[in-house]
Amino acid sequence: MTGKKILIVDDEQDIVETLKFVLETEGLNCITAYDGEEALFKAKNEKPDLIILDVMLPKINGYKVCRLLKFDAKYKDIPILMVTARSQEEDKSIGEETGADEYITKPFDIDEVVNIAKQYLNKGL
């Protein structure tokens, strides 16, 4: 799994840094973005193997970022793990409609997120 690239997108720097630290100790390469516009740009230019995406982001929200990537043939196969404080059933439905592969609510267990990410990364082997 070494060499796989993950894009971590969240407007909370501590969440980004924590996820990045833990994933890099697993031998993964991490790139980061702090708003939806930057996330789209990096997703299209870096072609990550997986994206961990917050919903409530500045500039473009995570739902729209997910939809734009999942409905584009070049990027539709990149797994997207949506991570959000929005835990209502309606929010989960919107996440599914936009094409998110997983919908994880905050506060989350970091080990759970890492294990889910590894499962998706191993599918691509």
Q: Mutual orientation of helices 110-123 and 13-25 as an angle, nearest 10°? A: 60
Domain boundaries, the chain: 5-123
Q: At residue 15, does pLDDT exceed 80?
A: yes
Q: Mutual orientation of helices 89-97 and 62-70 as an angle, nearest 10°? A: 30
> Do the strands 80-84 and 50-54 form a parallel or antiparallel pair, or are they unpaired?
parallel
pTM of the predicted structure, to 2 decimals:
0.92
Q: Mutual orientation of helices 62-70 and 36-46 as an angle, nearest 10°? A: 30
Tell me what pLDDT residue 124 has: 58
The pLDDT mean for the chain works out to 90
Domain 5-123 has CATH 3.40.50.2300: yes
Q: What is the pLDDT of residues 44-101, one digit of tens each?
A: 999 999 999 999 999 999 999 999 999 999 999 999 999 887 667 776 777 778 889 9
Highest mean pLDDT range out of 96-100, 104-108, 116-120?
116-120
Retrieve residue 59's tokens.
């500039």
Q: At residue 40, does pLDDT exceed 90?
A: yes
Q: At residue 41, does pLDDT exceed 90?
A: yes
Taking the chain, what is the end-to-end CA distance rounded to the nearest angstrom? Answer: 8
